[in-house]
Structure 1
Amino acid sequence: MTKAAGPTVGIVANPLAGKDLRRLTSGATPVSDAVKIGAIRRAVVGAFEGGAERVLVSGDRARLGDRALAGFDPSGPVEVLEPHGWHTGRDSQLAAARFCELGVGAVIALGGDGTQRDVAKGWRNVPLVPLAVGTNNVFPSQLDATVAGFAAGAVVSGLGVAAEVAAQAKIIDITMESSGGSDIALVDVCLVRGAFVGARAVWESASVSEIVAAIAEPASVGLSAIAAAVAPVGRHEAGGVHVRLGCASRSVQHGRHIRAAVMPGSYSDISIEHCEKLRFDQLVTLRGPGVLTLDGEREIVLARGERAEVTVNSNGPQVIDVGAAVAAAQRRRYPVGPAVASG
């Protein structure tokens, strides 16, 4: 596939989003492939309506893109990338990197916090429309894919100028002191007790010992909701927050006790021993043993004595404000003329 010719929108659809173990242990409803296929179709319609001349869709083993195009007659060319075959978040990461290489102007990502993180791993400053289709949906927005597609199409066509309708999101950088390896998160990094990854999703708040959050908003559900209860930090607010948890069974004199919605349909008792607002680039060291979760999923095992250095930074994805992009496009398409006298 050659570099994109003309305004092009990319769509990443994660077939695993909204299907992890938390769907079995909480009140959340699994998100079916049919829901994602419908969202892809609506996003394609919106993208062409917004001015895109071409749409690329990520490939995967579930063939979401191919199934979305079956019996569907879009108003412009739509291509599905060759799947990488991992059937993990790496597929979304590689698709985003490929979109960058091909000159895609905006990406719509269908998934939860984990999917958005995978996209940002593949393309750190991606011009992104994040759509909530996962279990934890702190970073992405609950919007219909039709208008999300329109907003992306408007940005790539110039009807909605990216500099006017997009804002750079925060990002959390993680560096392993011993190996020098690195990773990222968009919402939170947590140190949980244990020594294995296993089922990647975290659903027991009692296992969490520390949280570093870039976004800790009171209306969120997930581990960042713990931080939001004691030191809220908005997604557009500078810096982040560091929270150290205690044992919920200890006396209240040893800490501050709260309840937070750590999963859909579930509140948990939490003991807070320490919380601190963080500046951009302020270093937090998380020490093993334990497992680091990135945006709610276990990723990195820390042996005893191993340390990870964590900072909240300002140079994450360029998140497109859908409402602002649609409004800008409509103003350019339908400029307001002189008032028409009535009567």
Structure 2
Amino acid sequence: MSQRSTEADVCVGIIANPVSARDIRRVVVNAGSLQIAERVSIVLRLLTTLRALGVPRVLVMPDKAGIRALLNRHLRRDQPESGGLPAVEFLDMDVTSTVEDTFEAARRMRAAGVRALIVLGGDGTHRAVVRECSDVPIAGLSTGTNNAFPELREPTLVAMAVALHATGRIAADEALAWNKVLDVSIGERRRDIALVDAVISTERCIGARALWKTQQLSAAYLTFADPSCIGLSAIGALLQPVGRRDPHGLAVTLAPDEAARKLAVRAPIAPGLLAEVPVAGWEPMPPGRAFEVRHAGGIVALDGERELPFEPGERVQLTLRPNAFPTVDVTRCLQLAAQRGLFHCSLGNH
């Protein structure tokens, strides 16, 4: 176990996407949406837990949707029963109410030396954070539409694990888990990543970014495929499950043409939406091997959102990269803390 950090040096970042879970998929399938008040409640639970376990300072991404205003209202109140709150600093940055806010906040928090980043959002929000600071450990909280990457947990438990790592009570080699990504390249200049899935659509227009129709999909490339997850990765999960820590991924060829169809799966591609998806075949994706897309133009959707259009003749490649970024392993941190008595109190503190 590492030596505990000096408290003054410990800082954690919080990026809360104020508009996650509000894309068109939620309208189409009548799914619920997490309100601003509940997002603020989550942040407050994070803050009180972090302070109770020795984190004195927290950086927060600003917004114009109401999180900052409501959170400031709570911060101005005296909450002696909570044991106090850390010093909360909103980043001094222009707010655009686009994904650029997440990119900018992640860069600034990395530069400020945060020990970990707690992210509230779906797959797309987490992808944006990882793209900008893949060397900073993140802890995800599921508040989006498709939440294959961030797991559904009580924020208090996530904050406990983050504090254990940030303060040095549990060393990085025990507290962190390493994750795969898909490196996506189009031609020589355009590069991006996907945390869960990169899906090839024969559509030629991005339109509404969220992807929920399967009729024009031709292939899906997956870092992991968990049958208990919602989203396009569920297609592969019902064919050949692949774990987050498995060394390989999965490549699935879909069959919009009836002649190529070998079977079909009924997959939960969005909350409340089971889609019948025709499949032509599938195979493991070993790390480092480039899979080439052979289509005369279309769009690459990254983690459920249309992102990268490509034209006929452009070379599209997808490669699985292991050990790409660390996450705080909440379960392992809490198990180790229990085994080592890290939450035991002295008799004078009861």
- TM-score scaled by structure 1? 0.91
Alignment of 1:133-172 (within 5 A): 133-172=143-182
Match of 1:264 among 261, 267, 271: 271
Name the amino acid aligned to 2:303. D
Task: Show structure 1 runs of 5+ residues with no match.
Answer: 338-343
Aligned pairs for 1:219-230 (under 5 A) are 219-230=228-239
Q: CA deviation at 1:198?
A: 1.3
CA RMSD across the alignment:
2.0
The alpha-carbon distance between structure 1 residues 315 and 90, as it changes in their structure 2 partners (threshold 3 A), is farther
Q: Where do 1:1-343 residues align within 5 Å?
A: 5-72=8-75, 73=79, 74-177=84-187, 179-247=188-256, 250=258, 254-286=261-293, 287-330=295-338, 331-334=340-343
Structure 1 residue runs of 4+, over 4 Å off? 334-337
Point out the more displaced range, 93-102 or 290-299. Answer: 93-102
Amino acid at match of 1:319: T
- Residues 113, 174 of structure 1: CA spacing in aligned structure 2 closer, same or farther, 3 A cutoff? same
Q: Distance in 1 between matches of 2:64 and 2:345?
A: 48
Q: Is the 8 A contact 1:50 1:329 kept in 2?
A: no
Q: Does structure 1 retain, via aligned residues, the 8 Å contact 2:217–2:256?
A: no
CA distance in 2, matches of 1:257, 1:14: 35
What amino acid is aligned across from residue 318 of structure 2 in structure 1? V
Aligned residues: 331
TM-score by length of 2: 0.89
Q: Which amino acid aligns with 1:262?
A: I
In structure 2, list runs of 5 or more residues that go unmatched: 1-6
Task: Provide closer, same or farther for how the CA distance between residues 65 and 258 of structure 1 changes in structure 2, counting only shifts above 3 A.
Answer: same
The answer to whether the 8 Å contact 2:137/2:328 transfers is yes
- Paired amino acid for 2:268: A
Would the aligned equivalents of 1:288 and 1:307 in 2 still touch at CA under 8 Å? no
| SS of 1:300 mapped into structure 2 | strand
Name the CA shift for 1:205/1:213 in 2 (closer, same or farther; >3 Å). same
Structure 2 CA distance for aligned equivalents of residues 55 and 49 of structure 1: 13
Preserved contact between residue 36 and residue 66 of structure 2 (Cα < 8 Å): no
Q: Which moved more, 1:327-336 or 1:10-19?
A: 327-336
- Paired with 1:118 and 1:292, the residues of 2 have a C-alpha distance of 16
Cα deviation for residue 237 of structure 1 reads 0.7
Structure 1 contact 127–318 (Cα < 8 Å) conserved: yes
Q: Alpha-carbon deviation of 1:334?
A: 4.7
Q: Taking every aligned residue pair, what percent have the same amino acid on both sides? A: 32
Q: Which amino acid aligns with 2:322?
A: S
Counterpart contact for 1:49–1:150, Cα < 8 Å: no
CA distance in 2, matches of 1:334, 1:25: 45
Change in CA separation of 1:161 and 1:332 when aligned onto 2, cut-off 3 Å? farther
Quick one: distance in 2 between partners of 1:269 and 1:156? Answer: 44
Q: CA deviation at 1:332?
A: 4.9
Instruction: Tell me how far apart the structure 2 counterparts of residues 215 and 232 of structure 1 sit (CA, whole Å).
Output: 8
Give the corresponding residue for 1:340. Answer: none
Give the partner amino acid of 2:100: R
